[in-house]
């Protein structure tokens, strides 16, 4: 049998940072992870896109076991399978911290952590393939970075939206717009953004155009009083309604 199997390292008692694995990882016993099998140290800014396959327990998309350590700003997009304590991010978390980590819930139907034993899990959850592709996860991963002693926050995560399906290390910066039209983009905009509807669908964020509420045109009840009625003039308004 084989324990402590990882796409980058099997056993970690130090720090694994800015690394990734794209191949399938498999083990015939416990502690199998896409990046690290058994982690007693730190794993940060790492990702796995390969399938993680274990026939035993403590199987995770990023780490199999996390003991007295930390996983932060990581993600996994591969399928994850095992017998017990299987998680999209981590199989077993014992007295440790997992923060700002994500997994592709369209490919993995597990919880983020298979078994949590007195550990802390924050801002860690599944995101759909669409949420990965539209830049949301890249933005969240970069938002988890901390400033150095000079107050400068390193640019670690990015993604070319529309070209790259998943975040990459050192990729193009992703921004989140403000205003009524909120979406992820590689372009920085000053000020708030407004919707740009074509046939009722916003070309920037995909929102549906609200139907138009009228109160002075239609007497539905025939009582001589105009009623509140929604007018639908395009496909997007029909979806909204």
Rounded Cα distance between 184 and 232, Å, is 29
Grade residue 45 by pLDDT with cuts at 50, 70 and 90: very high
DSSP 165: S
Q: What is the mean pLDDT of residues 79-100?
A: 98
Contacts of 210 (CB under 8 A, 6+ apart): 237, 240
Q: What is the pTM of this model?
A: 0.94
Q: What DSSP string describes 138-151?
A: HHHHHHT----TTS
Question: Is the pLDDT confidence value at 1 over 70?
Answer: no
Q: What is the mean pLDDT of residues 46-64?
A: 97
Indicate if the alpha-carbon torsion angle 189, 193, 197, 201 is positive or negative: positive
Q: What is the mean pLDDT of residues 89-110?
A: 98
Grade residue 29 by pLDDT with cuts at 50, 70 and 90: confident
Q: What is the mean pLDDT of residues 187-209?
A: 97
Grade residue 230 by pLDDT with cuts at 50, 70 and 90: very high
Question: Is the pLDDT confidence value at 14 over 80?
Answer: yes
Question: Is the pLDDT confidence value at 2 over 60?
Answer: yes
């Amino acid at each position: 049998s084989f324990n402590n199997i990882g796409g980058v390292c099997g056993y970690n008692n130090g720090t694994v940072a800015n690394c990734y694995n794209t191949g399938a990882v498999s083990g015939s016993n416990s502690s199998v992870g896409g990046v690290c099998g058994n982690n007693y140290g730190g794993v940060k800014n790492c990702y796995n896109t390969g399938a993680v396959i274990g026939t035993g327990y403590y199987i995770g998309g990023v780490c199999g076991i996390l003991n007295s350590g930390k996983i932060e700003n990581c993600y996994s997009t591969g399928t994850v399978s095992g017998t017990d304590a299987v998680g999209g991010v981590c199989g077993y978390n014992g007295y440790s911290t997992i923060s700002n980590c994500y997994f592709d819930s369209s490919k993995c139907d597990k919880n983020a952590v298979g078994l949590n034993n007195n550990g802390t899990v924050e801002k860690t959850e599944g995101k759909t393939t669409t949420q990965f592709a539209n830049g949301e996860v890249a933005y969240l991963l970069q938002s988890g970075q901390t400033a150095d002693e000079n107050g400068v926050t390193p640019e670690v995560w990015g993604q070319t939206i529309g070209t790259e399906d998943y975040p990459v290390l050192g990729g193009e910066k992703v921004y989140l717009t403000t205003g009524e039209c909120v979406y992820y983009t590689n372009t920085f905009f000053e000020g708030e953004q407004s919707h740009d509807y074509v046939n009722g669908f916003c070309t920037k964020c995909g929102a549906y155009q609200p139907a138009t509420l009228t109160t002075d045109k239609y007497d539905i009840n025939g009582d001589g009083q105009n009623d509140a009625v929604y007018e639908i003039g395009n496909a997007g308004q029909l979806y909204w309604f």
